[in-house]
Amino acid sequence: MKLKNKIVIAVDGFSSCGKSTFAKLLAKKFGYIFIDTGAMYRAVSLFAWRNGLTTGGKIEEQELISKLQHIKIDFRYSGDKVCTFLNNENVENEIRGVEVSNLVSEVSKIKEVRKYLVSLQQAMGKNKGIVMDGRDIGTVVFPDAEVKLYMTATSNVRAKRRYDELIEKGFDVSFEEIKKNIEERDNNDMSRKESPLMKADDAIELDNSNMTVDEQVLWFNRLLLEKGLAIK
């Protein structure tokens, strides 16, 4: 399978429905850059938390906005793993913890934060050849993306995947806590005023509740052929 031209692949959808796993795999398959935009919102949340810009789960918005220009985020390889760097520090593990997960919905509601991160994301994808995952990639960041996926899975399946991932990383969490956090984030993501999670009109839905990753890749290959974007 070979892509005819360099394209942008936008992967949007709910928390923990395997967007990153799938997007990473596609990036590897096509030799594309992979960008996890959720990690960028998480890195800003970690910055706010570490710098005392939060009180009782609330963000000191103006303070954070005034410091945005001091927040440098990029992605670098550590072995064969893509890691998120915040001001030159590898924060890949820390941004996945419960403290950041509980803050990130609040941070991602802030218009100026979104504006700042969207401009970084557009710069990262300006030469195409990119797979970007998030919530607003097909609607706001790259409305002209050649392929837009909207991924879903039931909240039980998603909570189980997140739980297994965190336990494997050594976090002490309960399944109930994870499920509650996921459902709260679904609500926040869909109901927020700024760029809520929604399916772009031209996005294609992929419900992977009962699909293996290999099945998803086969499905995607067929999609590329149907769209005339690839040759066998």
**Comparison of 42 and 224: residue with beta carbon closer to ligand DC:** 42
Q: Give the pair of three-digit tokens for residue 172.
A: 């002490």
For residues 58 and 106, give the distance between their C-alpha atoms in angstroms, rounded to a whole number.
7
Secondary structure of the chain: what % helix, strand, coil (to 5)? 50, 20, 30
In a 3-state reduction of DSSP, which class is residue 127?
coil
Compute how many residues bind ligand DC; rule: CB under 6 A.
13
**Per CB under 6 A, 158 contacts ligand DC:** no
**Per CB under 6 A, 216 contacts ligand DC:** no
Tell which positions 131-150 bind ligand DC, by CB under 6 A: 134-136
**Per CB under 6 A, 185 contacts ligand DC:** yes
**Closest CB 115 distance from ligand DC, rounded Å:** 12
**Choices 23-31, 48-56, 130-138, 211-219 (CB under 6 A): range interacting with ligand DC:** 130-138
**Comparison of 199 and 229: residue with beta carbon closer to ligand DC:** 199
Interaction mask 99-128, ligand DC, x per CB under 6 A: -----xx--x--------------------
Q: Which of 94, 103, 100, 105 is nearest to 170 (CA)?
A: 94
DSSP-derived letter for residue 194 is S
Question: With the C-alpha atoms ordered 150, 153, 155, 161, is the resulting torsion angle positive or negative?
Answer: negative
**Per CB under 6 A, 13 contacts ligand DC:** no
**Beta pairing class for 8-13 and 130-134:** parallel
Tell which positions 19-58 bind ligand DC, by CB under 6 A: 37-38, 41-42
**Per CB under 6 A, 84 contacts ligand DC:** no
**Comparison of 125 and 134: residue with beta carbon closer to ligand DC:** 134
Contacts of 30 (CB under 8 A, 6+ apart): 3, 129, 131
**Closest CB 2 distance from ligand DC, rounded Å:** 29
Other CB atoms within 10 Å distance of the CB of residue 188: 17
Footprint of ligand DC on this chain (CB under 6 A)?
15, 37-38, 41-42, 104-105, 108, 134-136, 185, 189
